């Protein structure tokens, strides 16, 4: 038997499994599938074509002691898959919403805390835990068991190895691994799969080689990249990400 509030809005052709709870002020788009025992809490907005598997809790209250019951939201895009026992919390008065973009895959037991912003095509492997106020850009992939510190930012097309602790910001296009988390190369295979030209990939590799290996420190590396490389969209994205980082970016390999 389901517990679906009469004011919940459920789109055309959406299927609801057994023992599902859907509270008031919930909007679910068309062609969604909600698995058995899932719970969808007030303030949740779900796009079209989403799949929410058994036992997921979507739109729960923020786990923040400053939260005092304000009206906040969780916004989920189209074609998002949320696997078994995921938990996703709504926002607080910081951003008033948590956002998951389009075409994301959240594997089993992942947790996304309050005020996080995930872009499109993000993949969180099993048991990834994301603290509050984290931003993850498009096409980032986080390996299983990764933990992300609050307020951290992860750039687009990043690949992070399983079991990592993300304490600093991770700039776009890179692979990150080890402890402490470090630059271990450019995510060239991922970029190839997404249609990046080999010359562009080579240019990105040369920029990060300058930042992390040839220059004496990251600040000097940024200056060197600015002076040595032509202005391109990927150069702008790398330099803007680094200059806007509030936590500082991860370091290069030290051994």
216 burial type by CB count under 10 A (0-12 exposed, 13-18 middle, 19+ buried)? exposed
Give the model's confidence band at 254: pLDDT under 50 very low, under 70 low, under 90 confident, else very high.
Answer: low
- Residue 128 lies inside a defined structural domain of this protein: yes
Q: Are residues 22 and 126 in the same domain?
A: yes
User: Per the structure block, which two tokens stand in for 242?
Assistant: 């680094």
The pLDDT, as a whole number, for residue 108 is: 98
The pLDDT, as a whole number, for residue 1 is: 76
- Residue 107 lies inside a defined structural domain of this protein: yes
Task: Catalytic residue, from 114, 121, 133, 157: name it.
Answer: 114
Task: Catalytic residue, from 59, 60, 119, 132: name it.
Answer: 132
Q: Which of 133, 167, 199 is the last residue of a domain?
A: 133
Q: Could you tell me the residue range of the domain that residue 211 belongs to?
A: 191-252
Closest CA to 207 of 170, 243, 174, 167: 174
Residue indicated by tokens 């295979």? 189
Q: What percent of the chain has pLDDT over 90?
A: 97
Whether 114 sits among the annotated catalytic residues: the reply is yes
Task: Catalytic residue, from 64, 78, 115, 137: name it.
Answer: 115
What's the pLDDT tens digit per position in 67-115? Answer: 999 999 999 999 999 999 999 999 999 999 999 999 999 999 999 999 9
Whether 61 sits among the annotated catalytic residues: the reply is no
What's the pLDDT tens digit per position in 191-210? Answer: 999 999 999 999 999 999 99
Q: Are residues 29 and 124 in the same domain?
A: yes
């Amino acid at each position: 038997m389901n517990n679906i509030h009469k004011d919940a809005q459920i789109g055309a052709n959406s299927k609801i499994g057994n023992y599902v709870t859907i509270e008031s002020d919930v909007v679910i788009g068309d062609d969604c599938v909600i698995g058995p025992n899932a719970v969808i809490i007030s303030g949740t907005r779900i796009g079209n074509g989403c799949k929410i598997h058994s036992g997921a809790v979507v739109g729960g209250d923020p786990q923040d002691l400053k939260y005092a019951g304000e009206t906040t939201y969780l916004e989920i895009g189209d074609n998002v898959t949320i696997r078994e026992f995921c938990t996703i919390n709504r926002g607080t008065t910081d951003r008033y919403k948590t956002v998951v973009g389009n075409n994301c895959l959240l594997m089993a037991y992942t947790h996304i805390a309050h005020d996080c912003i995930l872009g499109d095509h993000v993949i969180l492997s099993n048991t990834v835990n994301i603290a509050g106020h984290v931003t993850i850009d498009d096409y980032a992939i986080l390996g299983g068991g990764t933990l992300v510190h609050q307020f951290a930012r992860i750039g687009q097309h990043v690949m992070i190895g399983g079991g990592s602790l993300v304490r600093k910001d991770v700039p776009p296009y890179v692979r990150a691994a080890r402890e402490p988390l470090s630059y271990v190369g450019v995510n060239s295979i991922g970029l190839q799969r997404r249609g990046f030209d080999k010359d562009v990939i080579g240019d990105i590799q040369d920029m990060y080689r300058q930042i992390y290996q040839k220059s004496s420190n990251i600040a000097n590396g940024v200056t060197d990249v600015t002076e040595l490389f032509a202005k391109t969209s990927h150069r702008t994205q790398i330099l803007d990400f680094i200059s806007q980082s509030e936590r500082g970016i991860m370091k290069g390999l030290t051994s």
